[in-house]
A and B are shown apart, each in its own frame.
Chain A
Amino acid sequence: MHPAPSIIVFTVLSGLGYGLAVMLGLDLLDADSSAARIGHVLALLLIGFGLTSSLLHLGNPQRAWRALSQWRSSWLSREGVLAILTFAPLLAGAWFSLFEGVYRAPVGILSVAGSLATVYCTSMIYASLRSVDGWNTPLTSLCYLLFSLAGGAGLASALASGAALGAAGELAWVAMAFVAIAWLAKIAWRRRLKSIVRRSTPETATGLGKLGRVRLFEPPHMTASYLTHEMGFKVARKHADKLFVLSIIIGGGLPIILFGLVAMGAADGNTATALGLIAAIGYLSGVFVERWLFFAEARHAVVSFYGS
């Protein structure tokens, strides 16, 4: 699948934002701290920027409001509805933190529920597609949620260090744990991707399997088309493997080590903050690569018609 920058930015940043919102909604950052205040704003900015980015992907963004109508059947619609609905507790939570320095549990719970539900819906947009074997598994949603939470925890930890909160160390452990679990889930997801038997093949696509092996002789167009551009993206296996390893290293290994150092109290104050930030940036970069590969390595059934 074509790794559209706008979509990658959308899922990564909004996922991150919602993850941070969960941390805030669970009151893991003292509502009266600068960490929480920055956190609320950052979460809202990340989510807002992400959602705006997703609009860039649209052919007719001015009608985007219509996307709220089909929540009965469409995961994309549900995501839109939930995102809008979740803004309420998120804004409320931000208000309470920014202007009253307090945490209100009902708002927090709603923020958590809404954030998780929104991320879940986002993941289900992809996971529900039978046409993309690699995505069509519960592991997809698991990864999205875990990456969201890991990112949120990482950011929370960095913020906590920055504000010199007592919870900084614990949050670093949480971040470490989530990052590790997220990447383990991702490895399992990717192993499945590599090993599953294609549901659809050129033989099933054309129905000509009874006659023999089918390969493409001539495509319907000799240059690209919307279909080949969207669904025909190919990345070389070796290249992809290298990228995946890279993403694990900078998005997994590096943050785990750095958060580990913070968790063990090996650094504190500004150093901890710096480490936390580097970890967060490393994590973010790794997730960008991971998300890029999520699209780039996914095989859409339609490529069967193009002989693959």
Chain B
Amino acid sequence: MTSLPAVAPARKLGLVIDLDVCVGCHACVISCKEWNTGGYGAALSDQDPYGADVSGTFLNRVHSYEVTPDGGQVVGESGQARLIHFPKSCLHCDDAPCVSVCPTGASYKRSADGIVLVDEDKCIGCGLCAWACPYGARELDLAAGVMKKCTLCVDRIYNETFEEVDRVPSCVRTCPTNARHYGDLADPDSVVSRLVRERDGIDLMPEQGTRPVNKYLPPRPRQPLSDTRSPVENTDGATGFFGWLDSMLDRI
């Protein structure tokens, strides 16, 4: 149904993305693609896959940004811009605009765990949900004509054919730098909730009023190397050095 759940879901499953350790390797992008192309719903197609106008449906993508200190925090070594790699997928918003605009009821937010899904049997591919989403979380699959988005790997997290430790989204399992965390953001004691508290996790585009469930952990503050005080410098050249060396050897 495209009305948001009347009662807030008891569990708010989502992801926490740690921008302090994402190296932009795109592992999550491809892992998601291969999992989902044969999983929930229509295959994630690629158009002109070996040609000039290649494009394809991906549910999770990684951008890279250059951030130039501009009166903001100067990082590490002065003045220069820094690079931040930035994965983005559906944030499973509490106030998901993609849910309310859907005319067919295909787009819905689960009342038990808050996951926002597309019921592809109902989707007519009007694309309005993609327009409503400020985060670009939804893509129309051009071959299937239905809207695709992150499913939070709903077909993995409850999957009883998996060992417990593997019941996490594919992107989380695969991330080599452990930059992706999965859990219940409604549970204050969950790993994800604690991460958000400890690292001051933020919402993306809070001004859009979507109340995203996924949170992002900003890069940790840096300390310049030049902050470390140098040991006392000895000015007595090589001779003094050798004198010291002898005394060191005597002590061994």
Contact = CB atoms under 8 A, between A and B. Distances in A.
B84 interface: yes
A77 B64 CA distance: 38
Given A57-B126, A73-B3, A207-B216, A217 B66 contact: yes
A204 B101 CA distance: 24
Given A61-B124, A207-B203, A302 B133 contact: yes
A221 interface: yes
A225 B140 CA distance: 10
B104 A63 contact: yes
**What is the size category of the interface that chain A forms with chain B?**
35 or more
Contacts of B128: 74, 76, 125
B124 A302 contact: no
Interface in A38-79: 57-61, 63-64, 66-70, 72-77
B218 interface: yes
Interface string A277-306: 000000000000000000000001110111
Interface residues of B, number: 74
Contacts of B227: none
A129 B65 contact: no
A67 B204 contact: no
Most buried by A among B131, B142, B147, B207: B131
A269 B208 CA distance: 56
B70 A213 contact: yes
Contacts, number: 216
A174 B216 CA distance: 56
Given A210-B218, A212-B73, A223 B54 contact: yes
Contact of A59 (B135, B140, B216): B140
Contacts of B218: 207-208, 210-211
B126 A207 contact: no
Interface stretch (A84-92, A94-102, A103-111, A226-234): A226-234
Which A-B residue pairs are the 4 nearest by beta carbons? A59-B125, A59-B145, A220-B61, A301-B134
Interface of B: 1-3, 19, 24, 29, 53-58, 61-73, 75, 81-84, 86, 88, 97, 99-106, 122-128, 130-136, 139-142, 144-147, 202-209, 216, 218-219
Given A212-B68, A216-B66, 15 more contacts: A59-B123, A60-B145, A69-B104, A130-B209, A131-B131, A131-B132, A131-B133, A206-B86, A207-B204, A211-B72, A212-B67, A213-B70, A225-B56, A229-B55, A231-B130
